[in-house]
Chain A
Amino acid sequence: MSESMHVNPEVVTTHAVHHDEHHVHHHHETFVTKYIFSQDHKTIGKQFLITGIVWAIIGGLFSVLFRLQLGYPDQSFPILETFFGHWAKGGQIQPEFYYALVTMHGTVLVFFVLTAGLSGTFANILIPLQIGARDMASPFLNMLSYWFFFLASIVMISSLFIQTGPAAGGWTMYPPLSALRQASDGGKLGTDLWLISMALFIVSSLLGGLNYISTILNMRTKGMSMTRMPLTIWAMFFTAVLGVLSFPVLLSGAILLLFDRNLGTSFYLSDIVVNGEILPNEGGSAILYQHLFWFLGHPEVYIILLPAMGMVSEILSVNSRKPIFGYMAMLGSLFAICILAFLVWAHHMFVTGLNPFLGSVFVLLTLLIAVPSAIKVFNWLTTLWRGNIRFTPATLFAIGFVSLFISGGLTGIFLGNSTIDIHLHDTMFVVAHFHIVMGVASFFGMFAGVYHWFPKMFGRYLNNTLAYMHFWVTMIGAYLIFWPMHYEGLAGMPRRYLDKRGWVSFNQFGDLDKMITVVSIIVFAVQLMFVFNFFYSIFKGRKVTSTNPWGANTLEWTTPIRPGHGNWEGEIPEVHRWPYDYGKDGREYIPQTEPIGENESKH
C-alpha cells in the first residue's frame, strides 16, 4: 500500500514488527466498501463534508437569486426565465418562487450544511482521531447516519423539481400556513416532502449523535481522562447531547403536522377560513407547533455553533503557540451554554401572545447566555495575548470567527430583551443578527476546520494564496452584507419582503440593497473558488511531508500522514497530559503522548 511509503520514519522503526501483521489482518477493501458504503469514520466524515459542500453551493446560489430580486426589484433577468421557466416569468422572480428560495436557503444551510456538513464532518473525523480510537463505537450505525442524510437530501432535492415547487412557508414551517394546501403552492406536495426529508434527517442526526456520545464516553485511549480531551471533543460531545435531546421534539412536531395535513387531525388548526372555505378543525393551537419547533430550534443554533467554538479554541491555541486560556472555564461555559440552550426557546415567541410573565422569565434566561459567551470571548482574547501567532488560513478564519461571534452575539442582547424585541422581531435586524452569529461565524469555524485538518484528511495542503483571498474577501464581504442590514431592521423593515417600493416606511434603502446584492455575488464567487481549491488540492495540492505539520499536541498528528482504517498502525498511543502544553518550560510544544518529565513545572 502506498500509505506505508509516507510513514514517518519514527513510526516505522517503532512499529516495524507490527506493521506487516497489521496489513495481514486488515480486511479486504473494494472500491465500494472503501469509498461508498464505507464504515471508516474518516471516509464518512469526508462524505458528510462533500455532500455539505454540494448543499452549500445550492443554498448559496438560492441566496444569490433572491438577493437579485431584493437589490433589483425593477429589473428583469431573462436568463432566470431560461432556467426557471414560469417561476421567473419575464425574467422576474415570482413571489411563490421567492418564498420557495428563502425557505430552501434556510433549511439547506441550517440543517444540511451547518448541522450535517459541519458537526457531521468534524465529529466523524476528529472524535476517534483525537481521543485515540480506531473508529466509532458503531461504525455501521455511523455509516447509516450518512446514508439517512443522503436519503433526506434526495427527498429534499426531489421537492425542487415538482410542479407546485418546494415548501415555501419559511424554514420554520409554521402552521397553519404549512398545514393548509389551499394557502400556498409550496404548501402542497412540497411541504410533505420537506417533512419527510426532515424526519429522515432527524434519524441521521440521532444515529450520529448517539454514536459520538458513546464513542467519547467509552473509547478514549489509556490516559485520556475526560479533562485531557481537546476542547474540540468537548464541543462535539455537547453538540451531540443537544441534538439527541432536542431533535426528537422536532420529529414529534413534524409528525403532528403531517397528521394535520393528511389525516384530518387538528393539533395546530382552529377556526380557519381559507380562501372563503370554512374548515371543520377546531380546538388546535398554532402556537403549540412553535413551542415544539423552537425547543429544537434554539438548541439547534448551538448545535451549529458549538463545533465551531471547539475547533476555534483548538486552532487558536495551536497557532498562537500558547495553551488555551482557562480550559476549565471554557469547558464550564460550554456546559452552561448547553443547559441554557434548552431553557430559552420562547424568546422566539415574545410577540405570539405568550403570557407576559412567562416572557419575562425567558428574557432572564436568554440574557444569561451572554455570561458564558463573554467568558469564551475573553478567554480567546487572552489566548492570543502574548502568543507567537502564525496566521495560517485556519488561524485567520478562527480570528474572524471570534470577531463575528462578538458582533452577532451583542445584537442578540437586543433581541433577547423582550421590550426591544417587540420592535425588532421579524425584521431585517433578526436576519442580520443570526446570519452573523450563527451563519457566517459557524461557516468561519467550518472553514478554519477544513484548512486546519485538510492535511490530515487528504495528506495534502490547500493552496495558500487562494486561501488568503478566500478569507479576506469573505471577512470583508460578510460585514459589508450584514452590518448595514441592522439599520433596515431598526427602521422596522420586515423580513421576507421581496419588494419594498410600495411602502412609505421601508422604501428608503434601495441603494443599500443594491450594494448588499453586489457584495453577496462577489462573496459567493469566492466560495466557489474555495470549492475549486478544495477539490483541486485533494488531487494536486502540495504534499504533506511530516506527520505533524502544525506542531500540534493532539493525537491525530501521531497517526501516519494518510492513516488507513484503524488510524494507528501499531498500538494506540497512551496519553500522559492535557493537549495544550504549548510554550511550556521553554519547549514549543509537548505532544500528549509524552510522559510528564521529572522536573516539569505544573500548570
Chain B
Amino acid sequence: MQTLFIVAILVLGFLITFQIAKASEYVAVLRGIEKARKQSNKINGFMLLAFLIAGLFGVWYCNHKLSGKILGEPASDHGVLIDRMLYITLAITFIVFIITQVALFWFSYKYQESDTRKAYYYPHNNKLEVIWTVIPAIALTVLVGFGIFYWFKITGNAPKDSMVVEVVGKQFGWEFRYPGKDGVLGKKFYRYIDAANNNPVGQIWDDEANHDDVFVEQEMHLVVNKPVHLVIGAKDVIHDVGLAHFRMKMDAVPGTPTSMWFTPKFTTKQMREKTGNPDFVYEISCDQMCGKGHWSMRGVIVVETQEEFDAWLAGKKPQYLVANPDKDPSVKKDTTAATAVTAMNIEPKSNN
C-alpha cells in the first residue's frame, strides 16, 4: 500500500513537472522564442555563478564535516611518506582546481550573451599555449620526482633485521605463519595443503625449517618499531592485504608471491589513546574483489612491545607438532596409531 502511494506521488509529480514544462514552451512560443531564450539565458548565467559560490562553500563545508573522519596520523614510517606525498599533491591540485573552476564559471557568467557585446575573434596564441604546456609540465615533474623518490624508499628491500611473517588470503579470511626461532619460513607446496590434517599452508614437513614455524589465523601480532617484512600469497583467488592505518597495500596473488615491508610506529594501545577509541584495532581489509564474502574479509593486527610479542609467540605450538603429535615431546607417545597418521601426511596428496 505504502509502495503504491509512493509510486502514485512520483507519477503525479512527474506529470505536473511535465505540464509546467509544456506550458512554459507554449508561453515561450507566444511571447517569441528569441525573447524567452534571452530571459532563460540570463537565469542560467546567474545560476552558473550561484553554483560556483555554493560549490566552493560546499567544498569547504564537506571538508569541515568529514576531515575529522579520515586518515589520522599514519601508523607506519612509510605512511608518513605517503601522507606527505598526498599533501604535496593536494596543495598543487587544489590551487589549480580553484583557479580553473573559478575561471570556468566566472567567464560563463561574465561573457553571457548580450546584445551589446560582440564575441572576440581569438583563434590562437602560441605564447599562451607554450605557457600552459610548460607550467603543468614543471609542476608534474616535481610531483613525479617526489613520487618516485618515495616509491623507491617504500618498495626497496626490507632491512636485514626485519621480522618475516607470511600472510595468506583465502575465501574469506587470513592466515599467518611465523618463521619461529630460525627466522626462516619452511618450504611449502600447494598440493600439500590439507586442512583436515592440520597442514593449512601446505608445509613440507621434510624441510627442517618448517619444524618451528607457527601458524595462526585471523590475528597477526607485530612488534612496535621493528620492521616487518610480509610475504604474501593467496590460495584461491586474488585478495589484497589492505592496511589503512599503515597506509600499505599489496595484492595476494595465487601462484605469484608478493611482499611488502613497513615499520609500525605505535602499539595498538597507543593508538587507542591517540584516537580516543577504546575499541580501536588495526584491521586488515581485503581490497581486491574476491567473491561474495569480500566485504567481510577482515583480519586484525595487534602491535605490541617485544616482550608482549615474545610471550604471545611462546604460547603458540609450532604447526609441525600440531600436525605430528608423535614428534611433540610434550605429548605422551601412543606409538603405532600416531606413526600411521604421520606417514599419510608426508605422502604428497595426489588429487586426480
- Let me know if A86 is at the binding interface, CB within 8 A: no
* CB atoms of B251 and A352 under 8 A apart: yes
Indicate with 1 or 0, residue by residue over B22-59, a CB within 8 angstroms of chain A CB atoms.
Answer: 10110011000000010011001101100100010011
Indicate with 1 or 0, residue by residue over A546-567, a CB within 8 angstroms of chain B CB atoms.
Answer: 0000000000000000000000
A384 and B251 contact, Cβ closer than 8 Å, known pairs A353-B256, A497-B295, A580-B123: no
* CB atoms of B143 and A413 under 8 A apart: yes
- Let me know if A391 is at the binding interface, CB within 8 A: yes
- Let me know if A16 is at the binding interface, CB within 8 A: no
* CB atoms of B25 and A419 under 8 A apart: no
By a CB distance below 8 angstroms, the chain A residues around B114 are: 388
* CB atoms of B103 and A381 under 8 A apart: yes
By a CB distance below 8 angstroms, the chain B residues around A321 are: 113, 119
* CB atoms of B3 and A272 under 8 A apart: no
> Which single member of A278, A329, A352, A399 contacts B124 (CB below 8 Å)?
A329
Q: Tell me the complex Cα distance, A414–B118, Å.
A: 41
Q: Tell me the complex Cα distance, A483–B82, Å.
A: 22
* Closest chain B residue to A278, Cβ basis: B351
Complex interface residues of chain A between 52 and 75 (CB less than 8 A to chain B): none
* CB atoms of A490 and B147 under 8 A apart: no
- Let me know if A217 is at the binding interface, CB within 8 A: no
Q: Tell me the complex Cα distance, A476–B51, Å.
A: 8
Indicate with 1 or 0, residue by residue over A421-432, a CB within 8 angstroms of chain B CB atoms.
Answer: 011011100000
* CB atoms of A423 and B86 under 8 A apart: yes
* CB atoms of A584 and B121 under 8 A apart: yes
Looking at the assembled complex, report how far the CB atom of A220 sits from the nearest CB atom of chain B, in whole angstroms. 21
A359 and B287 contact, Cβ closer than 8 Å, known pairs A176-B238, A325-B123, A465-B21: no
Complex interface residues of chain A between 368 and 411 (CB less than 8 A to chain B): 368, 370-371, 374-375, 377-382, 384-391, 396, 399, 402-403, 406-407, 410-411
By a CB distance below 8 angstroms, the chain B residues around A493 are: 244
Of listed A384, A479, A582, residue having the most chain B CB within 10 A: A384
* Closest chain B residue to A320, Cβ basis: B119
Number of residues of chain B lying within 8 A (CB) of chain A: 127
> Which single member of B97, B137, B150, B247 contacts A406 (CB below 8 Å)?
B97
- Let me know if B18 is at the binding interface, CB within 8 A: yes
* Closest chain B residue to A422, Cβ basis: B249
- Let me know if A599 is at the binding interface, CB within 8 A: no
- Let me know if B183 is at the binding interface, CB within 8 A: no
- Let me know if A1 is at the binding interface, CB within 8 A: no
- Let me know if B108 is at the binding interface, CB within 8 A: yes
- Let me know if B198 is at the binding interface, CB within 8 A: no
* CB atoms of A464 and B119 under 8 A apart: no
* CB atoms of A503 and B285 under 8 A apart: yes
* CB atoms of B24 and A99 under 8 A apart: no
* CB atoms of A270 and B148 under 8 A apart: no
Looking at the assembled complex, report how far the CB atom of B296 sits from the nearest CB atom of chain A, in whole angstroms. 6
* CB atoms of B235 and A385 under 8 A apart: no
* CB atoms of B285 and A506 under 8 A apart: yes
Q: Tell me the complex Cα distance, A592–B87, Å.
A: 49
* CB atoms of B107 and A273 under 8 A apart: no
- Let me know if A8 is at the binding interface, CB within 8 A: no
* CB atoms of A363 and B148 under 8 A apart: yes
- Let me know if B325 is at the binding interface, CB within 8 A: no
- Let me know if B66 is at the binding interface, CB within 8 A: yes
* CB atoms of A370 and B136 under 8 A apart: yes
* CB atoms of A509 and B120 under 8 A apart: no
Of listed B119, B132, B351, residue having the most chain A CB within 10 A: B119
* CB atoms of B151 and A419 under 8 A apart: yes
- Let me know if B346 is at the binding interface, CB within 8 A: no
| Among listed A126-134, A225-233, A282-290, interface-contacting one | A282-290
By a CB distance below 8 angstroms, the chain B residues around A403 are: 101, 104-105
By a CB distance below 8 angstroms, the chain B residues around A285 are: 255-256
By a CB distance below 8 angstroms, the chain A residues around B18 are: 466, 529, 532
- Let me know if A502 is at the binding interface, CB within 8 A: yes
- Let me know if A417 is at the binding interface, CB within 8 A: yes
> Which single member of A286, A320, A367, A533 contacts B254 (CB below 8 Å)?
A286
> Which single member of A168, A184, A382, A422 contacts B154 (CB below 8 Å)?
A422
- Let me know if B341 is at the binding interface, CB within 8 A: no
By a CB distance below 8 angstroms, the chain A residues around B249 are: 351, 422-423, 425-426
* CB atoms of A391 and B25 under 8 A apart: no
Q: Tell me the complex Cα distance, A286–B97, Å.
A: 38
> Which single member of A169, A356, A422, A483 contacts B289 (CB below 8 Å)?
A169
Looking at the assembled complex, report how far the CB atom of B266 sits from the nearest CB atom of chain A, in whole angstroms. 15
By a CB distance below 8 angstroms, the chain A residues around B105 are: 399, 403
Complex interface residues of chain A between 281 and 340 (CB less than 8 A to chain B): 282, 284-287, 320-329
- Let me know if B152 is at the binding interface, CB within 8 A: yes
| Among listed B220-228, B273-281, B313-321, interface-contacting one | B273-281
Q: Tell me the complex Cα distance, A188–B108, Å.
A: 52
| Among listed A143-151, A248-256, A467-475, A568-576, interface-contacting one | A467-475
* CB atoms of B147 and A419 under 8 A apart: yes
> Which single member of A280, A422, A465 contacts B20 (CB below 8 Å)?
A465
* CB atoms of B69 and A508 under 8 A apart: yes
* CB atoms of B97 and A483 under 8 A apart: no
Q: List 9 A-B contacts (CB under 8 A).
A: A176-B237, A177-B291, A279-B351, A322-B122, A323-B123, A410-B93, A420-B85, A423-B86, A506-B285
Known: A271-B255, A273-B202, A388-B118. 5 other contacts (CB 8 A): A370-B140, A371-B140, A399-B105, A502-B298, A504-B283
Report the 7 A-B pairs with minimum CB-CB distance, sorted nearest first.
A492-B244, A270-B255, A353-B258, A583-B119, A356-B155, A465-B21, A391-B44
Partner-B contacts on A (CB < 8 A): 79, 95-96, 99, 168-170, 174-177, 180, 183-185, 269-280, 282, 284-287, 320-329, 351-353, 356, 359-360, 363-364, 367-368, 370-371, 374-375, 377-382, 384-391, 396, 399, 402-403, 406-407, 410-411, 413-414, 417-420, 422-423, 425-427, 463-466, 468-469, 472, 475-476, 479, 483-484, 487, 490-500, 502-506, 508-509, 512, 525, 529, 532-533, 542, 580, 582-586, 603
